[in-house]
A = this chain, B = another copy of it.
Amino acid sequence: MKLLFDHIEQYYPLSAAAREALAENFEELVLAKGKFLITEGRVCKQLYFLQQGALRGYITVDGKEVTNWFGFEEHFITSFHSFITQQPSVENIQLLEGCILWRISKEQLTRLFDAHHEIERLVRIIYERYYIRLEERYVNAQLRTATERYAHLIEETPHILERVPLGQISSYLGISAETLSRIRSRF
């Protein structure tokens, strides 16, 4: 739980009262590799903070899995579309390793927004940051070649190769497994 508050601190420093309220509403969760936080068709009612481990979000297209993102330690995780709209998720979130997580439900979070303006501010700021990160990823995907995107991913997430199978990395990069293999073979 300390890690969660350290992480939050980076965005917006909360008062002791707000921290306490959060602490009362977050629940620890330990899950094994391969488990799912959310599967498509179900409504995602939880926001997660990933304390330790790795996971990925993917969608199913023509029977194939397309990985949209990877999540590693110290990030907030959810199926954002489903969590925000409370409509069935199109996305699956699967653990790539055993994970330690903290979770809070949308109802609890909404109550905290009413009770503590500063918690809503914190979340507003987190959305701002997540928005511009997504924007960067979007520009990166559109502008760079597959080779550059791969190099960028390795640079940004050096240990990803040890934690994620190549087939998932290739679908994240928007290329076939064969193409990724060939890119890697010529460094």
Kindly report how many copies of this chain are found in the complex they form together: 2
Give residues of chain A (120-176) contacting chain B, Cβ–Cβ below 8 Å.
120-121, 123-124, 127-132, 134-139, 141-143, 174
Known: A66-B143, A124-B127. A84 touches B138 (CB 8 A): no
Give residues of chain A (96-113) contacting chain B, Cβ–Cβ below 8 Å.
113
Q: Does chain B have a CB within 8 A of A2?
A: no
Minimum CB–CB distance for A38 against chain B, Å = 15
Minimum CB–CB distance for A154 against chain B, Å = 19
Given contacts A81-B136, A113-B121, A120-B121, 5 further A-B contacts (CB under 8 A): A68-B139, A68-B142, A80-B132, A84-B131, A117-B120
